[in-house]
Amino acid sequence: MLNVYLLRHGETTYNADGLRYCGITDAPLTEKGKQQAATVAEPLKNIAFDAIYSSPLSRAYDTAVIAAGGRPVIKDQRLMEANFGQWEGKRQEEFVLENEALWTTWMKDPCVARAGATGETGMEVVTRVNDFFEWARQEHKDGTILVVGHNAVNRFYLAYKMGIPLKNYRRILQLNSSITMFTLDETSEIVLKLLNATSL
């Protein structure tokens, strides 16, 4: 059984500026975001991780480096945030005014709709993230890993694994630098044990 400690990165400049959509844009951590990562490092310091993985985007990687407390961090492209296409760098109220139908189509069925017209579909995100965790399940049998990713990819993956329709992915709340923990057994069945924890 694989034990997974899953984090969302700390606060970014885009998060702080009216919740602008970062997506694949490489927005950096704020000072608050760095402190959030340092805070979560404390409950994680005594866990013997077999490996620590991160999205290659700096906000996730920098969070992982801080939270890892000196342990090595491996970047994996499959953990990259969703590509939000034309919505990148904009607040929701801005891009909805530009093209409300695009947002309505996305919310109705993100499985097949492209985020921001030119971004990824929900299933494209799920496919690559699930590929990472299936690989990790084989690579670290009966192991424990730390994974630092992003809001959309984490929520899409959790929704998919728990049988929640992807159109409801936004009903899962992922706080900056909080601890979500789940297990994947030999059949890849998930058991969610912690969500948004600040201590262990």
The dihedral through the CA atoms of 21, 25, 30, 32 has a sign that is positive
Kindly name the residue from 9, 11, 88, 150 that is annotated as catalytic. 9
Q: Which residue has the tokens 């404390």?
A: 42
154 C-beta neighbours (distance < 10 Å), count: 23
Backbone phi and psi for residue 36, each to the nearest 5 degrees, phi listed first: -60, -40
Alpha-carbon distance values, 173 to 104, 111, 155 (Å): 21, 19, 8
Kindly name the residue from 11, 31, 42, 81 that is annotated as catalytic. 81
Q: Is 81 a catalytic residue?
A: yes
> What amino acid positions are annotated as catalytic residues?
9, 81
